[in-house]
Amino acid sequence: MTHLLRSSSQLVNPMNRQRFMGFGTGAGGSGETPNSTEAQAWFNRLMPYPTASRELILGTFVDSLVAAGLGEAFDVLYVNCLENVSNALTDVWRTDRQGRIFQATSGLTFTANRGFSGGVSGHYVDTRFNPSTAVGARYTLNDASIFYWGHSADGAASINQYVAFAATDAAPQTLLSQLGWAPSWSNLAYININCVTQTSATNSVGYNRFNLVQRTAASGAGSTIYYGDTNTAIVSSSQASTALPNGTIRFRGAHPTSIMGIGRSLNSAERVALRAACIALVTSLTGGLP
């Protein structure tokens, strides 16, 4: 069964000066400095509203993405390393992409200020984002990406689970062949994005915190690539795109996950900027890189 975490709409307390006036710590660290429009809109959807110190950390994350041209890059972006599950699945940019826990079995664990881990088949994060039906989707047939920020536990052993996949909501649910990504399955990395045939290769790079797979062309060498921390290809595929998955994209959370996102493909500079923003955010929230 599915469990709806929370409606995306919330009542705003008019007596809360930060919400009502749109002021917070802001980039300047002053209570009289307004947050950016993008950051403030996200903060107003979070319960509890961020503390002053967190407001600065989260606002810096949002503003760094906007400055890098990534404000319009994502269909879904969740900062999982927040204080509760509801905030961890509140989309940074949109009001209509509140994530949910799909729970048919047990296994997925949420740890406050760390994120998700231990997800198995039948228990994972559902983004509610279907690229075949979403209006104005950034994730398209030949221009698409999925990424996550992981923990050090990723490097401890092979985790034989997909990170991201697509499935229908039918009972029983059906996993769709057009999307599947396993960074480390018996020391092999498997990627498949918008086609029906997976490509696999040895993950010789080893442990990565930053992980992104994307499609940038219909076919040909390098049309699909899995990137890690060094911004170099771990696995490359020339498989031709065939169709978008007609189902919602889900993150299994078997790999400890602090941030997860879906959107268009990113160029090299954008990948570097996204990784830097993730490092700054996770370090500031947790006191280090888990």
Q: Give the tens place of pLDDT for each residue, 220-250.
A: 999 999 999 999 898 899 999 999 999 999 9
Residue 159 pLDDT > 70, yes or no? no
pLDDT > 90: percent of the chain:
61
Closest C-alpha to 181, from 209, 153, 146: 146
Closest C-alpha to 281, from 97, 98, 42, 117: 42
Amino acid 120: pLDDT: 77
Distance CA 6, CA 3 (A): 9
Residue 203 pLDDT > 90, yes or no? no
CB-facing half-sphere around the CA of 132: CA atoms within 13 A: 15
pTM of the model: 0.87
Q: Give the tens place of pLDDT for each residue, 77-102.
A: 999 999 999 999 999 999 999 999 98
SS3 88: helix
Amino acid 79: pLDDT: 97
Q: What is the mean pLDDT of the chain?
A: 85
Closest C-alpha to 80, from 68, 69, 72, 88: 88
What domains appear along the chain, each with residue ranges and CATH number?
A: 73-286 (2.60.120.200)
| DSSP H/E element including 55 | helix 52-67
